[in-house]
Amino acid sequence: MRFDLVTLRLFVSTAELGGVTRAAASLHLVPAAASRRIRDLEEQLGIALFVRLPHGMALSDAGRTMLAHARSMLHAVERMQDDAAAFLHGGRGIVRIAACTSAVLQFLPDDIRACNAANANIHIDLQEMNSEGVVRAVQRGVADLGVYESSVGSVAMPTLHYRDDRLCVVTLGDHPLARDAANGQAVTIDSLLAHELIGLTEGASVTITLGRLAARAEKPLKMRIRVGSFDSMAAMIAAGIGVGLMPEAVAKLIANAPHFHHLPIADDWAARRFVLCHQPRQSLALAADSVISSLTGMPLAPR
């Protein structure tokens, strides 16, 4: 099969805009020529990428799968262009890191600052997402390195230990869990599952952990609301909608108003481990070795 970048960009744009005419205009193509490119791509692949509708186009099931590959290929080309530009201007390249929110808030600001100080000619592009998204980004080649929470499970990539943290329960002072804690009762998974929880989006390690614990305890998970960030979680807790799980350091940073209470968790599951994963070293630029060593504090063996 032969692909050209214009056709790949057209495919992605058509999927995002819902029609080839709008996609053609965004890429300064003639609509008829753009339609022909899409048909040629479908013929090469042997599948229909779109369902033709009266007023637009929608991705087919196969098209949704192919879209992920097209985006990955375009990201790889952009990375190649960025790395070439960095070398052209005296740098050693760009290293793309995907990291979960907990790591971004707790660890990476100081670690990246130290990495920048030690490697002034290496540029870091940081992308924040949930733990499952981090693993997918590295697997697809969108990111060179990833930092995620280990409850996601094992991955078929090289990994190194990165950091550890511990979860706590954040609630208002008049909540039953806070009153129980004031009377010396520790928070356990059984006591936590008895109350309405504010969750994070699907794929976040906190949500994965709660789902597994609820299944193991054979109890329902009361999670009517899921939010995209710890800031939004704190807002929902402040409104009295439920309680939430946060890393202790994040709770001190975000939920630090007097009406919030941070309750320690007695169970072992509250202790978490963060992992740095990366693509095989032979496929990484040499600049990535320096960043991996800086973030983990572990020198890598020479290639």
Domains along the chain? 5-69 (1.10.10.10), 73-163+273-296 (3.40.190.10), 165-270 (3.40.190.10)
pLDDT reported for residue 68: 87
Distance CA 53, CA 43 (A): 19
Cα atoms in the Cβ-side hemisphere of radius 13 Å centred on 52: 6
149, 136, 121: which is closest to 75 by C-alpha?
Answer: 136
Provide the token pair at 180.
């129980």
Is 102 in contact with 130 (CB distance < 8 Å)?
A: no
Distance CA 262, CA 230 (A): 14
pLDDT reported for residue 122: 87
Alpha helices by DSSP H, the chain: 5-17, 20-26, 31-45, 61-88, 101-106, 108-118, 131-139, 176-182, 189-193, 205-217, 230-238, 248-254, 286-296
Torsion of CA 99, 105, 107, 111, to 10 degrees: 80
Please list the ranges in the chain whose pLDDT falls under 50. Answer: none
pLDDT reported for residue 173: 92
How far is the CA of 136 from the CAs of 22, 51, 72, in angstroms? 29, 27, 11
pLDDT reported for residue 134: 94
Strands 225-227 and 197-200: parallel
Dihedral (CA of 103, 107, 111, 112) sign: positive
pLDDT reported for residue 87: 66
pLDDT reported for residue 298: 85
pLDDT reported for residue 149: 95
Provide the token pair at 197.
């929880």
pLDDT reported for residue 193: 94
How far is the CA of 271 from the CAs of 158, 230, 247, in angstroms? 23, 18, 9
* Threshold 0.75, pTM exceeds: no
